[in-house]
């Protein structure tokens, strides 16, 4: 499917020099395996064909749960001093004592606004990102990170230091994504989205936070999708930045699924920050929208509908399991919220929202999720909540 994009009237004034690189990018297409020129080739990413003996979903006989490996998910942490100094170190120790192969933090390194008299970084100062890098590199296994709105789009709030949000994202790109490697005491190589398709503080830049890797027959990818209406609302909306990144993200989705098909991956895992809203049922936590068209039902600017339509098309064409991971609305859940244009639920799409926030209750939500993977099983994934014993608040550890 050729990617098309409807440009809202309010942002048609974007300068031509910003749009030309994107128009060129739209002509790139997807090369064999989804590898566009200029992308970094990983040193050790075995293809599914080399590691998977059978295609899941062919019969009930493949619905076993032997589990070949696992990975960890966390995010929206830390949100206060107690979480930063006690809760997150406890969580990292718990992850290090587990058998996971890697972990992913799905964004938000701090609360939405700075906390007065905090002992740890809660504005968008450089110290915030230093603290986060320390957490990630304390993990024994490879660690990945997705930017969150609290650590860049919302940095323009006066309480956060009134930073230029594009400059803070530029800083994150340099700090966290300067090489194709992950964080952690051991690392994995990734493939980074090619081309200068995103808008930084000084012009067009590479969307280096969008990256993917193949691990034992499953394709994993990070996508820079943000809360605060994907940067179209809150303190200083930035429609130019949103428009170019939104196009880049949709191109990236197409490339990720093309690579997964070329590698014969048994599943795709997408890792993002924002809860974009999938239907009309979640008004207390995020945008509501018509699940058939993805048209937003509330009055907020809609930074997600085009992205969701591209995502749905790719998920349906892929047919195999797709796990969509996000944080943002601070409510742990695993469900199947995506529907097709007829209102029928997509059976192969699963949403997982990680624990996070709940700062008023200290470490009450400083926990993580273990995803168990069996590439020969029909559904590929199973899930275990990991309630960190030292972080239990309401019910003490037995």
- CATH code, 69: 3.60.21.10
**72 strand-pairing partners:** 103, 370
Is residue 2 included in any domain, yes or no?
no
Sign of the alpha-carbon dihedral angle for 355, 360, 361, 363: positive
Residue 378 lies in a domain: yes
Number of Cβ within a 10 Å radius of residue 30: 17
Find the domain containing 62 and state its range: 9-391
**398 located within any domain:** no
CB 97: neighbour CB atoms within 10 A? 9
**C-alpha 341: how far from its chain's center?**
25
170 in any annotated domain:
yes
For residues 326 and 106, is the Cβ–Cβ distance under 8 A?
yes
Instruction: Say what the pLDDT of residue 89 is.
Output: 98
pLDDT of amino acid 122? 97
Q: How far is CA 258 from the centre of its chain?
A: 19
Tokens, residue 3: 């990617």
- pTM metric for this prediction: 0.86
Asked if 169 and 294 count as a contact pair (C-beta separation under 8 A), the reply is no
The answer to whether 137 and 160 have CB atoms below 8 angstroms apart is no
| 84 assigned to some structural domain | yes
pLDDT attached to residue 332: 96
3-state secondary structure the chain: CCCCCCCCHHHCCCCHHHHHHHHHHHCCCCCHHHCCCCCCCCCCCCCHHHHCCCCCCCCHHHCCCCCCEEEEEECCCCCCHHHHHHHHHHHHHHHHCCCCCCEEECCCCCCCCCCCCCCCCCCCCHHHHHHHHHHHHCCCCCEEECCCHHHCHHHHCHHHCCCCHHHHHHHHHHHHCCCCECECCCCCECEECCCCCEEECCEEECCCCCEEEEECCEEEEECCCCHHHHHCCCCCCCHHHHHHHHHHHHHHHHHHHHHHHHCCCCEEEEECCCCCCCCCCCCCCCCCECCCCCCECCCCCCCCHHHHHHHHHHHHHHCCCEEEEECCCCCCEEECCCECCCCCECCCEEEEECCCCCHHHCCCCCCEEEEEECCCCCCCEEEEEECCHHHCCCCCCC
Q: Quote the distance between the C-alpha of residue 181 and its chain's center.
A: 17
Q: For residue 285, is it within any domain?
A: yes
Which residues, 6 or more positions from 361, have their beta carbon under 8 angstroms from its beta carbon?
393, 394
128 inside domain: yes
Looking at residue 62, its pLDDT comes to 55
Token representation of residue 208 = 């280096």
Residue 57 covered by a domain: yes
pLDDT at site 64: 56
d(CA 179, CA 208): 9
157 CA to centre of own chain: 23
Domains held by the chain: number = 1
What is the residue-level pLDDT of the chain in tens, covering all 398 positions? 434 444 444 443 444 344 444 444 444 333 333 333 334 333 344 333 333 344 444 344 555 556 999 999 999 999 999 999 999 999 999 999 999 999 999 999 999 999 999 999 999 999 999 999 999 999 999 999 999 999 999 999 999 999 999 999 999 999 999 999 999 999 999 999 999 999 999 999 999 999 999 999 999 999 999 999 999 998 899 999 999 999 999 999 999 999 999 999 999 999 999 999 999 988 888 889 999 999 999 888 999 999 999 999 999 999 999 999 999 999 999 999 999 999 999 999 999 999 999 888 999 999 999 999 999 999 999 999 999 999 999 999 89
């Amino acid at each position: 499917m050729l990617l098309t994009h409807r440009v809202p009237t309010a942002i048609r004034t974007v300068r031509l020099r910003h749009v030309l690189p994107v128009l060129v990018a739209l002509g790139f297409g997807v090369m064999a395996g989804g590898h566009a020129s200029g992308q970094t080739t990983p040193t050790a990413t075995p293809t599914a064909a080399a590691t998977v003996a059978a295609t899941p979903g062919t019969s009930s006989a493949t619905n076993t749960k032997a589990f070949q490996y696992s990975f960890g998910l966390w995010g929206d942490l830390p949100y206060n001093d107690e979480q930063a100094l006690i809760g997150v170190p406890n969580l990292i120790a718990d992850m290090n004592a587990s058998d996971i192969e890697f972990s992913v933090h799905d964004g938000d390194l701090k609360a939405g606004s700075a906390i007065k008299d905090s002992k740890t970084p809660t504005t968008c100062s450089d110290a915030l990102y230093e603290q986060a890098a320390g957490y990630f590199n304390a993990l024994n296994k490879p660690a990945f990170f997705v930017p969150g709105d609290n650590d860049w789009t919302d940095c323009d709030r006066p309480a956060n230091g009134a930073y230029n949000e594009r400059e803070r994202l530029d800083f994150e790109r340099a700090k966290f994504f300067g090489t194709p490697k992950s964080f952690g005491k051991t690392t994995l190589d990734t493939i980074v989205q090619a081309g200068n398709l995103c808008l930084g503080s000084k012009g067009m830049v590479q969307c280096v936070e969008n990256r993917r890797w193949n691990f034992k027959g499953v394709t994993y990818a990070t996508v820079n999708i943000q809360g605060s209406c994907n940067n179209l609302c809150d303190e200083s909306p930035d429609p130019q930045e949103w428009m170019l990144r939104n196009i880049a993200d949709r191109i990236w989705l197409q490339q990720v699924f093309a690579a997964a098909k070329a590698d014969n991956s048994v599943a795709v895992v997408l890792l993002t920050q924002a809860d974009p809203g999938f239907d009309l049922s979640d008004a207390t936590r995020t945008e509501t929208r018509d699940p058939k068209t993805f048209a937003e039902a509330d009055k907020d600017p809609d930074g997600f509908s085009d992205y969701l339509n591209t995502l749905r098309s790719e998920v349906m064409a892929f047919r195999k399991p797709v796990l969509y991971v996000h944080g943002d609305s601070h409510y742990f859940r695993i469900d199947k919220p995506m529907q097709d244009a007829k209102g029928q639920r997509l059976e192969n799409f699963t949403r997982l929202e990680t624990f996070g926030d709940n700062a008023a209750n200290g470490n009450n939500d400083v926990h993580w999720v273990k995803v168990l993977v069996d590439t020969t099983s029909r559904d590929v994934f199973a899930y275990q909540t990991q309630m960190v014993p030292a972080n239990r608040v309401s019910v003490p550890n037995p």
